[in-house]
Chains A and B, each alone.
Chain A
Amino acid sequence: MSVIRIPPTLRDQTGGEREVLAEGGTVRDLLDDLIGRFPGLREQLDYANVYVGGEDIRTREGYETPVAESDTVILLPAMAGG
C-alpha cells in the first residue's frame, strides 16, 4: 500500500481524509484503486497534477510511473505564480 495525499478541495470525496492508502504498482493502478473506493474523485482527477517522489509524473513515465510502497503520491491542483 502507498500513501496518497489528498488536496483540501478533494477531501469532501474522501470523507475528510488528508491521506488515504491505495494498492498498486503504478500510478494508474493506484488511482484506479482510489476511484474504486471514492467514485466521486473520477472526474476531478483529470484536473489534478500527480507527483511521485515529489516529481510530476509528466516528467517521469506518466500514468505508468512505478510507485513503491515507500513512495508518497501527491495530488495537487494546477497553480500559477508570478
Chain B
Amino acid sequence: MASRTAAGLLDLVGNTPLVELTRLSPKPGVQVYAKLEGQNPTGSIKDRVALALIEDAEARGELEPGRELLEPTSGNTGIALALVAKLRGYRLTCVMPENVTEERRRLLRLYGAEIVDSPGAEGSNGAVRLAQEIAAKEPRYYMPFQYGNAANPRAHYEGTGAEIAAALDRVDVLVAGLGTGGTLMGAGERLRESFPDVVIAAAEPLPGDPVMGLRSLEAGYVPPILDVSKLDRKLLVSNAEAVAGVRALLDREGVFAGVSAGAVVHVARRLAADLNEGVVVAILADGGWKYLSAPFWDAADPEEAMEADLWW
C-alpha cells in the first residue's frame, strides 16, 4: 500500500488486515484467515460500531447541544465511544460491570469518559438494566444502545463483511464472538450475499459459576438485534479453551489477541477440521493489551483463575 495521510483518526476506522494463520490451520487444504480488528484506532472492532452509532444519532438529530451520551458496555464499546465522543465534542458516561479489567476502566477515564459501576455478578445484563434506568430518569442522556440499534449490524454489513467479501474469492465459514450479535448479523448477512453457502458460526462464552450466579433465568438478556435463526452454528467455548486459543495465537502466529479472539480461534480450528478444503475467516475483536493484568497468561488452571470475572 502506498503511504498516505489521514484527515483524522476516525478515517482510520475499519479496513483492517486479513492475515492467514498457516500454523494454526489443522489441514493443508484449509486456509484460516484472521481479521485483525485490534488494529482499529482504540484497539477493537467496536470503533466501527461507535462511529456508526454516533453518526446515526447525529443524522437523526438526537445529539443537539446539552445532550450527553450514556451506554452500557463491558469496555470496548465504551472506549471506542469515548474516542468518537471526544472528537465530535460530546460527553460520555459508560455503565459497566465492576469486574472488568482495570486496563479498560483506566483507558476509559483517560479518554475522558465517566464510569458508573453495575454489579459484577450481573455481567453485561446488569449494565444494560442500570443504563436503561438512568436513561429513563434523565432526559439529557442519549443512549445509542448497541444491543438494539440497527446501526450496529449495519456497520458490520457495510464495513467488516464487505471488506472480507472484497478480499477473498471464497469464504466457507465465518466465525465471530457473540456479544451484541452485531458482527455476526451484519457481516454474516453481507457474506451470504457473496457466498450463499457460507456457514455463520458464533463463539459464545461459557462463563464461570460466579458470573452466572446472581442472574435469574427469567432475566436472561437476548440483544434485540440478535436473530439466532440467522446463525448456522452457535458453540460454547470454556474459559480454558479461550485461553488455549489466545496462547496458540501468540505462541505460534505471533498474534497478541484478547480473550474472545481466543474463543473465536478455538471454534475456527474446530470447524476447519471438519472441512477437506476451504476458507475459514475468524474475526479477532481485539488485541491482548487490555487483558495484561488478567491472571490467565501463565495460570496452571485458567478456568479457576478466570471464574469470577467478565471477559467479553
Chain A interface (Cβ < 8 Å from any Cβ of B): 7-10, 44, 47-49, 51, 54-56, 58-59, 74, 76-82
Bound together, the chains give a CA A59 to CA B231 distance in angstroms of 7
B256 to chain A, nearest CB (A): 20
5 contacts between A and B (CB under 8 A): A7-B217, A76-B206, A78-B221, A81-B179, A82-B147
A80 touches B204 (CB 8 A): no
Contacting A at CB under 8 A, from B233-284, are: 233-237, 260
Chain B interface (Cβ < 8 Å from any Cβ of A): 46, 73-74, 76-77, 123-125, 128, 146-147, 177-180, 182, 204-207, 209, 212-223, 228-229, 231-237, 260, 312
B217 touches A47 (CB 8 A): yes
B212 touches A80 (CB 8 A): no
Q: Which of B124, B215, B228 contacts A77 (CB 8 A)?
A: B215
Q: A56-B228, A58-B234 are in contact. Are A79 and B213 (CB under 8 A)?
A: no
B217 touches A8 (CB 8 A): no
Q: Which of B73, B214, B220 contacts A79 (CB 8 A)?
A: B220
A10 touches B217 (CB 8 A): yes
**Chain B residues in 8 Å Cβ range of A51:** 236
A81 touches B205 (CB 8 A): yes
A82 touches B124 (CB 8 A): yes
B80 to chain A, nearest CB (A): 11
B218 touches A79 (CB 8 A): no
**Chain A residues in 8 Å Cβ range of B212:** 7-9, 76-77, 79
Bound together, the chains give a CA A76 to CA B204 distance in angstroms of 11
A57 to chain B, nearest CB (A): 9
B215 touches A82 (CB 8 A): no
Q: A56-B228, A58-B228, A59-B234 are in contact. Are A80 and B215 (CB under 8 A)?
A: no
User: 4 tightest CB-CB pairs across the interface, nearest first?
Assistant: A81-B179, A78-B220, A56-B234, A82-B179
A80 touches B179 (CB 8 A): yes
A14 to chain B, nearest CB (A): 13
Residue of A whose beta carbon sits closest to that of B215: A77
**Chain B residues in 8 Å Cβ range of A59:** 228, 231-234
**Chain A residues in 8 Å Cβ range of B46:** 82
